[in-house]
């Protein structure tokens, strides 16, 4: 098969970019694969795609940021989508031209706005797949209403968790669209796994409020008080860095907590630790959790919606604690820091259990899913099981009506606010 991925900006850093590159590289073993980046802002991508995967960009911001069409808001990319301000009539035009000329068998979008483009503009012969890397409940009623209208033209929607797939089936009312969870994959580590002897806890990700690194630092202060020879290393960059640095200084943790900056790839850094940590309020999947486990680190994480609870087996390969509970997070970390045998046992379990996120199982599922959708399109039938369609119809219509009402009310409120200025 010829497979095209459509992504926001392949030249940046983030979980969607990582998992897209991983899946594209794994699929390139047997298929002709390309990644189309809507935007580009630098010469070379931060992450290096598999050499068998072609990469091209549609709008180069280094040269076209001042293009007249780029000064006008996008009309196809939905206004309620988080990234709408970065899209324009120029991106509408380039994405539309790209899709019209597409000679692929399958095109896969990687965020809601791009999925809308695919639903509305991809040729009829192409299998249209919309990937969801956030969650349905994280979208506003206005965006969900826009997605219902467009997503009915998709063949497949994939989510990264079973819980979110169930939410789509229950709430969206998309007759004929197959919805299935397809987890993110992490390549097989090239290095030996961690040996559980390093006195280091590792966390990684964007330094943004939802990741709650402040909570993790405060929890680790209790660990350092009992075990002053242990360190917390936080990898990543983002808007929270100055506030986190001030917190470290205020707690007197400069010898125990370190902001390491971004590291690509992270595999060598995970292998230097003995425990992974995540304190997010919200985590659609938890890519760094899988990365840590694949390197032999048990992970202590908040049990936030949706991903961690589907990745970590509490008490077996890591620990799950209530969201926002600093003391519970500290206690779980102390449990592993203070018990070498328990930590080693969980490390072995993490390695074993995380193999389900290896490229092999995930790619096999993706191939089965795409081949079934392609066969269904050729035969002119839906790939969705009948019981899914009948079970979701009434509930989906109810959710659709509520979202439409909320969206309309929000629109009236926006109009009132504009009129009062």
The DSSP annotation for 193-232 comes to PP-S-S-EEEEES---GGG-HHHHHHHHHHHHHH-TT-EE
Write down the pLDDT at residue 405. 59
Q: What is d(CA 104, CA 2) in angstroms, rounded to the nearest whole number?
A: 5
3 state DSSP class of 34: strand
Query: Does residue 236 sit in the same domain as residue 335?
Result: yes
* Domains contained in the chain, number: 3
What CATH number does residue 212 fall under?
A: 3.40.50.2000
Query: Does residue 17 sit in the same domain as residue 161?
Result: yes
Contacts of residue 374, Cβ cutoff 8 Å, sequence gap at least 6: 1, 105, 106, 127
In a domain, 327, yes or no: yes
**C-alpha neighbours within 13 Å on the C-beta side of residue 209:** 0
Q: What's the pLDDT tens digit per position in 332-384?
A: 999 999 999 999 999 999 999 999 999 999 999 999 999 999 998 888 765 55
Instruction: Quote the domain boundaries for residue 319.
Output: 200-357
In a domain, 286, yes or no: yes
- Secondary structure string (H, E, C) spanning 111-180: CHHHHHHHHHHCCCCCEEEEEECCCHHHCCHHHHHHHHHHHCCCCEEEECCHHHHHHHHHHCCCCCCEEE
Residue in the block written with tokens 């979701």: 392
Task: Take residue 310 and report the two structure tokens written for it.
Answer: 């589907």
The answer to whether the Cα torsion of 87, 4, 132, 205 is positive or negative is negative
In a domain, 195, yes or no: no
- Terminal C-alpha separation, the chain: 54
Task: Take residue 178 and report the two structure tokens written for it.
Answer: 């197959």
Write down the pLDDT at residue 203. 98
In a domain, 25, yes or no: yes
Query: Does residue 309 sit in the same domain as residue 345?
Result: yes
Query: Does residue 230 sit in the same domain as residue 328?
Result: yes
State the Cα torsion 212-218-223-226 to the nearest 10°.
180
Query: Does residue 142 sit in the same domain as residue 51?
Result: yes
DSSP class of residue 307 equals: T
Q: How far is C-alpha 269 from the chain's CA centre?
A: 21
Of 92, 97, 88, nearest to 66 (Cα)? Answer: 88
- Extract the residue ranges of the chain whose pLDDT is less than 50: 386-387, 389-391, 412
For the question of whether the overall pTM of this predicted structure is more than 0.75, the answer is yes
Task: Take residue 419 and report the two structure tokens written for it.
Answer: 């009129």
Biggest CA pair distance of the chain: 66
Q: Beta partners for 6?
A: 36, 109
In a domain, 128, yes or no: yes
Q: What is d(CA 165, CA 135) in angstroms, rounded to the nearest whole number?
A: 9
Query: Does residue 90 sit in the same domain as residue 205?
Result: no
3 state DSSP class of 413: helix
Write down the pLDDT at residue 387. 44
Query: Does residue 270 sit in the same domain as residue 392?
Result: no
In a domain, 194, yes or no: no
Of 117, 8, 99, nearest to 59 (Cα)? Answer: 8
Query: Does residue 177 sit in the same domain as residue 108?
Result: yes
Query: Does residue 259 sit in the same domain as residue 373?
Result: no
Write down the pLDDT at residue 402. 64
Q: What is d(CA 162, CA 278) in angstroms, rounded to the nearest whole number?
A: 20
Query: Does residue 24 sit in the same domain as residue 169?
Result: yes
Query: Does residue 205 sit in the same domain as residue 315?
Result: yes
Query: Does residue 129 sit in the same domain as residue 267?
Result: no
Q: What is d(CA 258, CA 263) in angstroms, rounded to the nearest whole number?
A: 13
In a domain, 322, yes or no: yes
Residue 265: is the preceding peptide bond cis (ω within 30°)? yes
In a domain, 347, yes or no: yes
Q: What's the pLDDT tens digit per position in 113-172?
A: 999 999 999 999 999 999 999 999 999 999 999 999 999 999 999 999 999 999 999 999
């Amino acid at each position: 098969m010829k497979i095209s991925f459509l992504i926001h900006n392949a030249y940046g850093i983030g979980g969607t970019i990582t998992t897209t590159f991983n899946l594209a590289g794994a699929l390139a073993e047997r298929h002709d694969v390309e990644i189309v980046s809507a935007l580009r802002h630098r010469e070379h991508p931060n992450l290096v795609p598999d050499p068998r995967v072609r990469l091209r960009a549609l709008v180069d911001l280094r040269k076209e940021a001042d293009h007249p069409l780029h000064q006008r808001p996008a009309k196809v990319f939905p206004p309620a989508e988080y990234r709408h301000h970065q899209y324009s009539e120029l991106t509408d035009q380039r994405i539309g031209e790209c899709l019209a000329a597409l000679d692929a068998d399958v095109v896969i979008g990687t965020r809601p706005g791009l999925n809308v483009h695919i639903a509305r503009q991809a040729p009829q012969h192409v299998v249209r797949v919309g990937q969801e890397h956030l969650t349905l409940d994280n979208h506003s009623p206005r965006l969900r209403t826009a997605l219902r209208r467009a997503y009915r033209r998709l063949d497949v929607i994939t989510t990264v968790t079973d819980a979110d797939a169930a939410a789509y089936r229950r709430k969206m009312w998309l007759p004929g669209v197959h919805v299935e969870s397809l987890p993110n994959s992490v390549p097989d580590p090239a290095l030996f796994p961690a040996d559980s002897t390093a006195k280091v806890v590792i966390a990684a990700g964007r330094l943004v409020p939802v990741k709650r690194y402040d909570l993790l630092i405060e929890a680790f202060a209790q660990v350092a008080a009992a075990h002053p020879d242990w360190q917390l290393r936080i990898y990543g960059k983002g808007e929270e860095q100055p506030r986190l640095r001030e917190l470290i200084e205020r707690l007197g943790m400069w010898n125990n907590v370190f902001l390491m900056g971004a590291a690509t790839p992270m595999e060598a850094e995970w292998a230097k630790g003995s425990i992974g940590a995540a304190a997010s309020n919200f985590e659609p999947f938890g890519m760094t959790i899988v990365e840590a486990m694949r390197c032999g680190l048990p992970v202590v994480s908040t049990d936030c919606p949706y991903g961690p609870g589907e990745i970590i087996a509490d008490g077996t390969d890591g620990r799950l604690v209530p969201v926002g509970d600093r003391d519970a997070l500290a206690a779980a970390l102390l449990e592993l820091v203070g018990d070498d045998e328990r930590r080693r046992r969980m490390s072995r379990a993490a390695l074993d259990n995380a193999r389900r996120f290896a490229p092999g199982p995930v790619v096999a599922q993706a191939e089965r899913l795409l081949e079934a959708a392609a066969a269904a399109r050729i035969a002119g039938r839906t790939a969705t099981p009948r019981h899914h369609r009948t079970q979701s119809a009434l509930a989906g219509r109810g959710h659709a009506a509520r979202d439409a009402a909320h969206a309309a009310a929000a629109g009236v409120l926006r109009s009132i606010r504009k009129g009062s200025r």
